[in-house]
Structure 1
Amino acid sequence: MKQLLVFMGLCAMMGCSTYAHKEEEEPKEEKTSFLVTSPLQKDTTVIKEYVAQVRSIQHIELRALEKGYLQKIYVDEGQYVQKGQLMFQIMPMLYQAEQQKAEAEVNYVELEYQNTKKLADDNVVSKNELALAKAKLDKAKAELSLAQTHLQFTQIRAPFSGIMDHFQVRLGSLVDEGDLLTTLSDNSKMWVYYNVPEAEYLDYKAQVKNERQTKVNLLLANNKLFNQGGVVETIEADFNNETGNIAFRATFPNPDKLLRHGETGNVQMKVPLSNALIIPQKATFEVLDKKYVYVVDKDNVIRSREITVAAELPHIFVVEKGLNKNDKILLEGLRLVRENEKIHSKFVEPGTVLSQLDLYAE
């Protein structure tokens, strides 16, 4: 019995010793180290988008110049017409009759003038009578010219080459002088108007000496870029006091006639930024449509801070407010930390981070 108790005591001692040995052999848990970086400050160029309206370089209303019935329509809606092409014919009979009457009057007065001239040459009548006959002839010719003009006004011709819009009248309609017939657009080039806020306008003027050299692109409604580049040609004189914006106008060639008057889109314009603060997009998170970063202080404690984004580029944000170049921000593991938590961090140079964004992508 005594031997059994000694054996059990030895076993217990060996078991405790073994357990203690196992505890010593277990490795200590390594603490997670998070990557942090700082904003990169440098001059850069960002692409900003502005809502735009597309306009033809010439877009006019075609109106009737004389009263009458619309006798013929020689074109169709949406058709491309050449300059001088006949488009509409207003019934010309009344104006033809006026022209014939004026022609007859000219012929009659012409005979009177020739007879008076012969008599004047023979000193039968005075020079004053010859002058009166000449004045009467000039008056008749002027009336003929007026009648011819009225007759020409019954033919509506294209003042320039362009695309027809829909008809406001139909064949046989009685039109009055000034009635709208259709509109005509010259779409060989397009004017694209977009509004720029005052602050961005001032930055733009400070950086760009000649706006006619500023190239822009047009993003269409189907989210595809127009295949022709444009150039800023003019900036309007006045700001809109209600919106604080000023209108820019860019000209785009339109060889395929893809753009039409009244289209919408977004102008993409490169805007230079001096000493811009750049951070990776992945270092930010959103709360209620506001963007935040985790700033790491000197004691390695993290605190969230709201930032204002001035521009967005692939994988990066340009920060307008909320950070300075000396701040340290959490680069990865944003979902693994909590506010006011102390962490172990490893600093990565911002230039290295931005050049290897895919490497640090989560």
Structure 2
Amino acid sequence: MYRFPTPLVLLAALSTMGCHRAHQGHSEEGKFLVTSPLRTDTELTKDYVAQIRAIQHIELRALEKGYLQGIYADEGQRIGKGTKMFQIMPLIYQAEVQKAKAEADLTEIELRNTKLLADKNVVSPNELALATAKLNQAKAQVALATTHKTMTEIRAPFDGIMGRFRVRMGSLVDEGDLLTTLSDNSTVWVYFNVSEAEYLKWKAKPDADTPTPVKLRMADGQIFDQPGKVETIEADFNNETGTVAFRATFPNPKGLLRHGETGKVLMTVPIRNALLIPQKATFDVLDKKFVFVIDDKNVVHSRPITVSAEMPQVYVVDSGLEEHDKILLDGLRKVRDGAVVEASYQKPSDVLAHLEVPVE
């Protein structure tokens, strides 16, 4: 006698049919674009956070003690070498000069008298020598007092921009007190830190000893209109950060860049025999990057990759892929590991051409 299938058996049969249809439907979702990694020489422009420093930036300090009698330049003013900036009240130092000159005049008279007596053998030659030494000492005191008086004037040692006032007129300043700063920003030095690995790659270049051209992106995102050159590297690595400081020099004829500004140095580095793939062909799982690789039977397999550098829309692959591999270019959200797809192959050179990748 024929028996109707039990509900459990019927449910299992329907589930099996549903899975079979789902599998068939997944393999018939249309063609997926597929490409391969491109092996080529290229170049990478990297940016580094940078500190801008004037080629000369000094603190101007009082050389003598006294009341600040005059200020002859304003904050932010561009001044020339030798321009008088500050005057400390010189009255005491003028008196010291007059006193020293009087002492010198007195010793000169004593020397003349001693010389007359020495000519008549009244005094010994030693007395004459002693009088001569006293005159020389008095003249030295005159020079010293004059120097102290001169140092009550603070003048610009070079062309530059005056900084903020640290004192006001009438203030009592002591020797060594900070008055202001002076910056010569006609040329600026731009410092940026490079990792040890990048440093070694940079030194491995055939032209590593030739100044490397760089650009500067300012804080507003604009590119500074003067190109710079990397001319020197600091002697020691910073063990805490694992970096070494590079110094680039930029001409600054318009004075746009000021001491203490920040920006980003853009340095273009050639990469030989790089393996390139579009960024859109990758997906992230936790902190790792993956691609979907298509085998000879059009089966999709996820594969982890290591990226060594990043360009706009393109990754430089360090490991995980070879030139002959075929990777899924689009529809990454529509497939799963192990799915069968219908692939439409596109040359990697055509794919990357649309992404404006610099190829040498």
1:356 & 1:88 partners in 2: Cα distance?
63
Give secondary structure in 1 for the equivalent of 2:298.
Answer: coil
What is the aligned partner in structure 2 of residue 333 from structure 1?
A: 331
Give yes or no for the alignment of 1:210 onto 2:226: no
Asked whether the equivalents of residues 281 and 315 of structure 1 are also in contact (C-alpha less than 8 Å), the reply is yes
What is the aligned partner in structure 1 of residue 343 from structure 2?
A: 345
Give secondary structure in 2 for the equivalent of 1:207.
Answer: coil
Which of 294, 305, 308 pairs up with 2:292?
A: 294
Change (3 A) 1:255 1:210: same
Cα offset, 1:77, TM superposition? 0.6
Looking at CA atoms only, which structure, 1 or 2, has the larger radius of gyration? 1
Change (3 A) 1:325 1:300: same
What is the aligned partner in structure 1 of residue 260 from structure 2?
A: 262
Which of 79, 98, 114 pairs up with 2:77?
A: 79
Give yes or no for the alignment of 1:175 onto 2:169: no
Change (3 A) 1:55 1:67: same
Which of 50, 54, 57 pairs up with 1:56?
A: 54
Q: Matches of residues 203-282 of structure 1 in structure 2 within 5 Å? A: 203-282=201-280
What is the aligned partner in structure 2 of residue 317 from structure 1?
A: 315
Change (3 A) 1:357 1:269: closer
RMSD of aligned residue pairs (Cα, Å)? 2.2
Asked whether the equivalents of residues 294 and 304 of structure 1 are also in contact (C-alpha less than 8 Å), the reply is yes
Give secondary structure in 2 for the equivalent of 1:48.
Answer: strand
| CA offset digits 1:168-191 (Å, max 9, x no partner) | 111111111111111111111111
| CA offset digits 1:162-212 (Å, max 9, x no partner) | 111111111111111111111111111111111111111111111144344
Which of 130, 142, 145 pairs up with 1:144?
A: 142
1:177 & 1:337 partners in 2: Cα distance?
77
What is the aligned partner in structure 1 of residue 21 from structure 2?
A: none
- One-letter code aligned to 1:186: D
2:182 & 2:210 partners in 1: Cα distance?
28
2:270 & 2:75 partners in 1: Cα distance?
45
Change (3 A) 1:347 1:132: same
| CA offset digits 1:81-130 (Å, max 9, x no partner) | 11111111111111110001111111222222233334434545433222
- One-letter code aligned to 2:110: E
What is the aligned partner in structure 1 of residue 103 from structure 2?
A: 105
Asked whether the equivalents of residues 230 and 247 of structure 2 are also in contact (C-alpha less than 8 Å), the reply is yes
2:71 & 2:289 partners in 1: Cα distance?
61
Structure 1 stretches (4+) deviating beyond 6 angstroms? Answer: none
Asked whether the equivalents of residues 202 and 208 of structure 2 are also in contact (C-alpha less than 8 Å), the reply is no
Cα offset, 1:307, TM superposition? 3.7
Asked whether the equivalents of residues 48 and 311 of structure 1 are also in contact (C-alpha less than 8 Å), the reply is no
Query: TM-score scaled to structure 2, two decimals?
Result: 0.85
Cα offset, 1:152, TM superposition? 1.1
- One-letter code aligned to 1:302: V
What is the aligned partner in structure 1 of residue 155 from structure 2?
A: 157
Unaligned runs of 5+ in 1: 1-29
1:306 & 1:85 partners in 2: Cα distance?
66
2:237 & 2:325 partners in 1: Cα distance?
38
Unaligned runs of 5+ in 2: 1-27
Cα offset, 1:286, TM superposition? 4.8
Mean Cα deviation higher: 290-299 or 215-224 = 290-299
What is the aligned partner in structure 1 of residue 33 from structure 2?
A: 35
1:319 & 1:115 partners in 2: Cα distance?
96
What is the aligned partner in structure 1 of residue 132 from structure 2?
A: 134
Query: TM-score scaled to structure 1, two decimals?
Result: 0.85
- One-letter code aligned to 1:319: V
- One-letter code aligned to 2:310: E
- One-letter code aligned to 1:49: D
2:163 & 2:202 partners in 1: Cα distance?
38
2:206 & 2:97 partners in 1: Cα distance?
61
Asked whether the equivalents of residues 55 and 189 of structure 2 are also in contact (C-alpha less than 8 Å), the reply is yes
Mean Cα deviation higher: 239-248 or 116-125 = 116-125
